[in-house]
Structure 1
Amino acid sequence: MPKPKFLKLAEVLEEIDMSRSAFYRMRARGEAPELKKLPNGHLRVSRADLDAWWDQQTAA
């Protein structure tokens, strides 16, 4: 089974066309896709989590 693809936060922001500050406001409200923090401190979002979140946003 292949490893899940993880996207950099900048890639996620570009894909959903959102500013970093708006994303963090959504995250503070618990409305953003889950971020994973790597040991080096970089943030990633799994492709599966982003796709599920996007489907939820477009269904509402």
Structure 2
Amino acid sequence: MARLTQKELMLIQDNIKMCQESTQFIQGCINMVTDPELKNLCQQMIQGHNQDAQTLTSHITQTNVQ
């Protein structure tokens, strides 16, 4: 099993937070726009950020921290 350093762990955590913040921002954009195509594009972006956050979280849960 791979081991993460504290620095690597902090970097991953920072990236997870950025994904979450991007998702919140895009959700706000969805609430403001009326174009269905634009709303759909934003929804796709949210799904991508959520998947990225899940992938990053799995790296933390599957590894040990040094």
What TM-score, normalized to structure 1? 0.25
What TM-score, normalized to structure 2? 0.24
Q: Which has the higher helix share?
A: 2
Q: Which has the higher strand share?
A: 1
